[in-house]
A and B are shown apart, each in its own frame.
Chain A
Amino acid sequence: MIQFQQVVKRFRRNTVLTGIDLDIHPGERIALVGSNGAGKTTLIRCLLGEYVCDGKVFVDGLEPRSHRSEVLARVGFVPQLPPPLKMPVGQLIRFAASVCDSDPERMRGIARRLGLDPDTFRRQPFVKLSGGQKQKLLISIALGRDADILVLDEPAANLDPEARHVFFKILAEKKDHAVMLISSHRLDEVASLVNRVVEMDRGRVVLDDRVADTVDMDSVLEVRLTTARPEEAFTRTITEWGFLDAGDGKIWEGRVAGPDRLRFLGMLSRYAGLINGINMEEEGEGADARVTRLA
Chain B
Amino acid sequence: MKSLWLTALADITESLRARWFMVYTAIFGGLVVLLFVFGLTESRIMGFLGLSRLLTVFIQLTMAILPVFVLITTVRSVAGDREAGVFEYLLSLPITLSAWFWGKIIGRFTVIFLPVFLAMAGAAAWATLKDIPVPWDDFFYYTGLLLALAWCFLGIGMLISTVARSADVAQGAVFIIWLTLVLFLDLILLGIMIKEHLPPESAVAIALANPLQVFRIAAMMMFDPQLVMLGPAAYIILDTFGEPGFMTYAIAYPLALGTVAATGGYFLFRRGDLP
Contact = CB atoms under 8 A, between A and B. Distances in A.
A100 B94 CA distance: 6
A73 interface: yes
B193 interface: no
A42 to B, nearest CB: 10
Contacts of B89: 77, 79, 82-83, 85, 138
Interface string B233-275: 0000000000000000000000000000000000000011111
Contacts of A85: 14, 86, 89-90
Nearest to B91: A50
A287 interface: no
B273 A72 contact: no
B197 interface: no
Interface in A83-127: 83-88, 91, 95-96, 98-100, 125
Contacts, number: 83
Contact of A99 (B13, B88, B93, B97): B93
Contact of B14 (A72, A73, A86): A86
Contact of B272 (A52, A68, A96): A52
B95 A99 contact: yes
Contacts of B94: 68-73, 99-100
A98 B103 CA distance: 15
B84 A83 contact: yes
A100 B93 CA distance: 7
Interface in A118-143: 125, 138
B46 to A, nearest CB: 46
Nearest to A45: B275
Main secondary structure of the interface of A (DSSP, over half): mixed
A241 interface: no
Contacts of B90: 83, 85
A84 B88 CA distance: 11
Contact of B92 (A48, A81, A82): A48
A51 interface: yes
Interface in B24-53: none
A91 B273 CA distance: 27
B18 interface: yes
Contacts of B84: 83-84
A68 B6 contact: no
B92 A72 contact: yes
Contacts of B91: 48, 50
B273 A77 contact: no
A14 to B, nearest CB: 13
Given A50-B92, A50-B273, A51-B274, A83 B14 contact: no
Contacts of B275: 45, 50-51
A68 B85 contact: no
B17 interface: yes
B195 interface: no
Contacts of B2: 98-99
A68 B99 CA distance: 12
A125 B14 CA distance: 9
B96 interface: yes
Contacts of A45: 88, 273, 275
Contact of B96 (A69, A83, A87): A69
A125 B17 contact: yes
A98 B271 CA distance: 26
A75 interface: yes
Contacts of A88: 13
Given A45-B88, A79-B85, A72 B93 contact: yes
B6 A52 contact: no
Interface in A135-171: 138, 151
Contact of A83 (B9, B17, B86, B271): B86
B183 interface: no
Contact of A91 (B10, B18, B87, B271): B10
B143 interface: no
A138 B90 CA distance: 11
B56 interface: no
A52 B85 contact: no
B176 to A, nearest CB: 23
Interface string B91-135: 111111100000000000000000000000000000000000000
Interface centre among A48, A77, A85 (most CB of B within 10 A): A85
Contacts of A50: 87-88, 91-92, 273-275
9 contacts: A72-B92, A73-B94, A83-B90, A85-B86, A85-B89, A95-B9, A95-B10, A98-B6, A125-B17
Interface of A: 45, 48, 50-52, 68-73, 75, 77, 79, 81-88, 91, 95-96, 98-100, 125, 138, 151
Given A72-B93, A99-B93, 13 more contacts: A45-B275, A50-B275, A51-B273, A51-B275, A70-B94, A72-B94, A82-B85, A83-B85, A83-B86, A83-B88, A83-B89, A87-B17, A95-B10
Q: Which 9 residue pairs are nearest across A and B when measured between Cβ atoms?
A: A72-B94, A77-B92, A83-B89, A73-B94, A86-B17, A83-B86, A50-B274, A69-B94, A83-B85
